[in-house]
Copies of this chain bind each other. A is one copy, B any other.
């Protein structure tokens, strides 16, 4: 119950009556070039002594850690889900994923996290839409550690290997189209400026959609932060012809809108229609259900990990495009579609 010495290959070697080289070979290379008999002896000894390979020593020795660093703005909701998938993919590829949260989009914490990861000599990095600037990032990562971005648009090639981006812009664009088709007379995007780039993409898509599908429709853009949903909604419905279509930054914002609407007895979807993003648990379980864009987590995670593996030279697979655009899929629910029953 104390933590003195763990057993090492030296002891295993002694117990098995072979050299440490042989032990190393048997235990970490499937015993290629070792007799059946030797293998058995070594494995037995290792088992009995409770040998456990020391990752640090191994890593130091071969200067390869089989560790991938991940930096996210947080660990809840979307981020947590993504982290889980990345972890699974990393594991399947024989890598360990070290997860870090920067507590929001704080450049300082980000830098600190990066530093720690690099000190650990991770083989690669996956970061979510870094808040740090190009220069700042470059000066830190130029050490040669491959970096793949998640939701990072237009990063210079000398900094990042590439990026795997969710098609937020396209989703928002299609959302405007859809809302117009559903008869909306006015459109509104409720964003979240605090989320930097990913909010930017949504705005971009929203604006593009307006231009292409609803140039004559009244529209506006507001920020969810500190927004009094009830006051906002009632004012909105007074000012515009109904139904009004809203695109929310994510399902959380959508829920706030929905709740305010319910409270004000605003009819959904006849007076107000809402589309969220993420297809969270919330979207499915709220009443009425919120139409939302589903995220292909596994695919996104795989793409990111594969980009890294490709660079490592392990798996084949082509690394083709630098920026991979991952499309979201629309899940329609009652917030935009008349109830089936009733």
Q: Which residues of A contact B (CB under 8 A)?
A: 1-4, 6, 50, 52-57, 59-60, 65, 74-77, 79-81, 83-84, 87-88, 96, 98-101, 103, 115-116, 118-121, 142-146, 158, 252, 255-256, 258-260, 262-263, 281-282, 285-287
Cβ 8 A contact of A143, one of B50, B60, B76, B285: B50
The one of B4, B88, B287 in contact with A263, judged by C-beta atoms closer than 8 angstroms, is B287
Which residues of B have CB within 8 Å of A79?
Answer: 80
Given the interface contacts A55-B120, A76-B81, does A282 sit within 8 Å of B255 by beta carbon? Answer: yes
Q: Is the CB of A118 within 8 A of B286?
A: no
Q: Which of A55, A87, A88, A258 has the most CB of B within 10 A?
A: A55
Which residues of the partner chain B approach A118 to less than 8 Å between Cβ atoms?
52
Known: A4-B144, A80-B80, A87-B100. A252 touches B54 (CB 8 A): no
Given contact pairs A74-B80, A74-B84, A56 touches B52 in the complex (Cβ within 8 A): no
Query: How many angstroms between the C-alpha atoms of A4 and B63 in the bound complex?
Result: 9
CB pair B260–A52 under 8 Å, yes or no, is: no
Whether A2 pairs with B55 at a CB distance below 8 angstroms is no
A103 and B84 contacting across the interface, CB-CB below 8 Å: yes
B282 touches A55 (CB 8 A): no
**Contact between A259 and B287 (Cβ–Cβ < 8 Å)?**
yes
Pair A119/B52 contact, Cβ less than 8 Å: yes
List B contacts of A99 (CB < 8 A): 75, 83, 98-99
CB-CB < 8 A to A60: which residues of B? 54, 56-57, 60
CB neighbours of A54 from chain B (8 A): 60, 119, 121
